[in-house]
Structure 1
Amino acid sequence: MAGNLARLAEEAARATQAYLRPQLAGETSSLANVELGEIARTLGEVAERWMGEPQRALEAQARLTNGLIGLWADALRRLQGEEVPPAQAPDPTDRRFKDPAWTQNPYFDFLRKSYVHAAKWAEDMVVEAKDIDPHTRHKARFYVRQLAAALSPSNFVALNPELIRATIDENGANLVRGARMLAEDVEAGGGELSLRQTDARNFEVGVNLATTPGKVVLRNDLIELIQYAPSTGTVLRRPLLIVPPWINKFYILDLNPEKSFIRWAVSQGVTVFVISWVNPDSRHASKGFDAYMKEGIFAALDAIEMATGEKKVSAI
């Protein structure tokens, strides 16, 4: 355990360094500050409405306090061996509290019930606030739900019975793995948390990802245009142009042979062209939507006409 705690401290320091490095170099984005400012403004508007009605605010505060006191009293009675009727059954769809200890252990049961009670109270404060436009109320409810989810006791090692058992069983090795993954995600995000969706090391373009043969027939400042030739003797006259979203890679429709729309299309005799968008940087700061149309889609259509002689295309 002592060795793992030392490694945990090392990985935590690594994550901290990855977070601070771009800030010290002045390379951080202001987007996070903008988002935090919007959250503060939105929730501040809700708080302002309640401050204008002190009597209702006191009544709402009393509901929160009385509920927590009642839950604490129930927990004390359970600790003394008394039977206490269940006040709140866990939501069966909430996977955070599926472990039996969340209801069988008085300590964790109290944490769960207190959290659910407080989270519902916070959302009710948004719903019951007066003189707030629907858009602001909708944003405020969203922010409150996200904050409540982040503060769930299931997210903290000392408050989660499953994590406590896992930490004891593995002598803290699970915490080391988590801290290492956190450090890697912060490093990958350039100082911001970039949550991995999968292990990218298991995928390599051209090996087990984007395996349909193709060639680049156009390259400019914004795109590469990739052509995939039909794999049949008979070829359909009209080619197909695929324009993926800017946020997706060109192989979104060619993940693997079993899940490849592009491979299926060429097997049906279709000549397929796919735009691969550049990852923009400072060189593209002056590019507007018109540039993406002219140098992207329009340029691709011109290249397709030169390659196939066809002016009309099918498009996705």
Structure 2
Amino acid sequence: MARRPDATGKNVAKSRGKSVTSAKAAPASRRAANAEQPAEDQPKVEKAAAPKAPAKPRRAAKAAPRTTPETAAGTVGGTQTPEPATPELATPEPANLRDPDLAPVATEPAAVQRLAENIERIEALGHRLMSALAERNLPNPGVEGPGPDLYLTAANAFLKTLAEHPAKMIETQVAFWGQTLSNYAQAQQALATGQVSGDDEDGLADRRFANPLWRTHPYFNLIRRQYLTNARALREAADSLELPDQIARRRVDWMTSQIIDMMAPTNFLATNPDALERAVQTEGESLVKGLENLVRDVEQHGGEMIVSLADRRAFTVGENIGTAPGTVVHRAPLFELIQYTPTTPKAHALPLLVFPPWINKFYILDLKPQNSMIRWLVDQGHTLFVVSWRNPDASMAETGMEDYVTAYLEAMDRVLALTGQARLNAVGYCIAGTTLSLTLALLKQRGDTRVNSATLFTTLTDFSDQGEFTSFLQDDFVGGIDAEVQRHGLLRAQLMSRTMSFLRANDLVWGPAIRSYMLGETPPAFDLLFWNGDSTNLPGRMAMQYLRGLCQQNAFAGEGFELMGHRLHLSDVTVPLCAVACEGDHIAPWTDCWRGVAQMGGADRTFILSQSGHVAGIVNPPTRRKYGHYLSEGGFDGGWEAWREAASFDEGSWWPSWGRWLADRAGPMVDARDPGEGLEPAPGRYVHDRAG
């Protein structure tokens, strides 16, 4: 049968669609000989061995040489590349051959094509990233890190320790060198023997080192050991410093922890086995997707590198989150008032008004039907009103704490008018609880008895112990915030979110960044994290009043906080009160919450301690039974230790315990109140305003 020339002028046997491995192949000895030949020699051997005029076409090709970078393009020195030897490596037949009888021409492997495409995508993404980073505002050193005072304090303490205890410093340094040499010696032994010693489990309980390669691979095992050695050395060095006061100690410890967390090997591609494995498995696609995620985050945050914690496309407020039926019954420049539709024929006579924090959106109390506190309260027979705060812009720069207290009073007036009642019960969450306490003290001094009882969720009113916020509440950082306020008129949401995130950097900064930027994962569709990323701005005047007067000066628990012509004290809060704090709360530590309540002046005070943290401890519905709570008859005279010692533990949610307390103070049952059409359906319009 005649052969037709191919594009290179070589004779190619006509193909009948047979598999290259299923027909009569060359003898095994010849295949073995070919396989042992160097790649550049095999085409010549094949050409010499092939008969010039075979009687009939061959149905199988000879064994292919191993693919090399030179053969990937299809030719080696102008000679046609042999066909692949196995089906999985075979290049698909092109669909646009002019003659279907022609054998397929070798084409570029799919992996190489994908690599070229990824390189093009990386180049385009790189240009976008540079453009996005150029949009960043001029940095403000005051909020980028500690001021020079901290570094000077640490340097003086180091020099003092070196001068007074030189032997101790040298001993510590020699011990560090010795441990480092030991790590390298073990790594060399592991490389020589191919086996890593399994007797060292140090650090393996850390979730960052969950990959087995940290234990079994000599390189990664060395990286892990040395990182832990460095971390111990840094902590010991910081602990050995003789610092002037507790504030300096907390700031140095916090800064040391930030450095240790930042330098973790998991934060770098070359020393992260999970990221390297994913890159190999996806032929680099994970790194390209990670760069896409990085560019998206920088573009969304005006040039700032703030990692997205949740997939924003997964939720829409009012559609699959924040969906409790209700009506906007009042709108003011600072807030909307929502009344929720009753689900019971009867309701308590006294209405319930909830003030959520304006640092975030109110739908934290209405994430999903199964964990919605708003739905649960309506089901308990309460006429429920919730404030939805406006997300401030620069036009509200001069809005102060007095404006928020005035808004509290306006919301109360409206609720009482709509229900025909003279009194109501109020709830304040976080900073809204602090402001509710100020409002209650103001009403006390005015002789106004409209609030029948109050509930505080994770509320700080005594700031004598600044806890984990110590580093952020010193003059250098607060001065930096003041400069931000002067520039923008606001304490911007992204700065506040970043500050909060670095209190739990591994969970809220580095971990999400690794998953998003190195592994190329889409942020999770998690309602709580979605809400966490929907932060709001704070008006400049209000932010500085809060930071200076309440946090730094602790005026409310001390000499008195000046507001609206009154000097307000914690002892002025005398209404029946229930306070709920969370055992694992790092934003409002429960002992600090307890200390504020202990200084209030009322005789009727109840304290509930929930398990878990600032949000999960509050959004803890009875159906989950995940976190329990503590109740105590210990009172407030013996300190929080005595209160905790006398406490009893309940495995269920605290909601029913609070519900019983609230029902006793909510009045008799009356016909449920329908909010009517109002201005528009819940959740209203203010909740949709995002921080710019």
Report the TM-score, using the length of structure 2 for normalisation: 0.42
Alignment of 1:21-170 (within 5 A): 21-23=135-137, 30=140, 33-38=141-146, 41-52=149-160, 53=162, 55=166, 56-81=168-193, 88-170=200-282
The answer for the alignment partner of 1:187 in structure 2 is 299
The answer for the alignment partner of 2:345 in structure 1 is 233
Cα distance, 1:205 vs. partner?
A: 1.7
Cα distance, 1:281 vs. partner?
A: 1.6
Q: 2:328 touches 2:336 (CA, 8 Å); kept in 1?
A: yes
Cα distance, 1:208 vs. partner?
A: 0.8
Cα distance, 1:132 vs. partner?
A: 3.7
Cα distance, 1:171 vs. partner?
A: 1.0
| 2:310 is aligned with 1:198 | yes
Cα distance, 1:187 vs. partner?
A: 2.2
1:102-149 CA-to-partner distances (Å, cap 9, x unmatched) read 121111111111111001111111111123422222222222112211
The answer for the alignment partner of 1:310 in structure 2 is 421
The answer for the alignment partner of 2:319 in structure 1 is 207
Supply the distance in 2 between the matched residues of 1:84 and 1:255 (Cα, whole angstroms): 48
Alignment CA distance shift 1:250-1:48 (3 Å): same
Alignment of 1:163-312 (within 5 A): 163-295=275-407, 297-312=408-423
**Residue type of the partner of 1:49?**
A
Cα distance, 1:217 vs. partner?
A: 1.8
1:132-168 CA-to-partner distances (Å, cap 9, x unmatched) read 4222222222221122111111111111122111101
**Residue type of the partner of 1:158?**
A
Supply the distance in 2 between the matched residues of 1:16 and 1:62 (Cα, whole angstroms): 45
Supply the distance in 1 between the matched residues of 2:148 and 2:225 (Cα, whole angstroms): 27
**Residue type of the partner of 1:301?**
M
**Residue type of the partner of 2:346?**
T
Q: 1:5 touches 1:172 (CA, 8 Å); kept in 2?
A: no
| 2:134 is aligned with 1:20 | yes
Greater strand share, structure number = 2
**Residue type of the partner of 2:155?**
A
Where do 5+ consecutive residues of structure 1 fail to align?
Answer: none
Supply the distance in 2 between the matched residues of 1:275 and 1:49 (Cα, whole angstroms): 50
**Structure 1 vs Structure 2 CA RMSD:** 2.2
**Residue type of the partner of 2:353?**
L
Supply the distance in 1 between the matched residues of 2:355 and 2:147 (Cα, whole angstroms): 35
SS at match of 1:287: coil
**Residue type of the partner of 1:16?**
M
Q: Which moved more, 1:70-79 or 1:270-279?
A: 70-79
Greater helix share, structure number = 1
- Which runs of 4 or more aligned residues in structure 1 lie more than 6 Å from their structure 2 counterparts after TM superposition? none
Supply the distance in 1 between the matched residues of 2:117 and 2:152 (Cα, whole angstroms): 45
Report the identity percentage: 34
SS at match of 1:135: helix
Q: Which moved more, 1:39-48 or 1:126-135?
A: 39-48
Supply the distance in 2 between the matched residues of 1:82 and 1:263 (Cα, whole angstroms): 61
Supply the distance in 2 between the matched residues of 1:236 and 1:13 (Cα, whole angstroms): 61
Alignment CA distance shift 1:39-1:5 (3 Å): farther
Q: 1:46 touches 1:132 (CA, 8 Å); kept in 2?
A: no
Q: 1:4 touches 1:171 (CA, 8 Å); kept in 2?
A: no
Q: 1:50 touches 1:57 (CA, 8 Å); kept in 2?
A: no
Q: 1:101 touches 1:108 (CA, 8 Å); kept in 2?
A: yes
Report the TM-score, using the length of structure 1 for normalisation: 0.89
1:9-42 CA-to-partner distances (Å, cap 9, x unmatched) read 433442333232133xx5x6x3xx2233416643
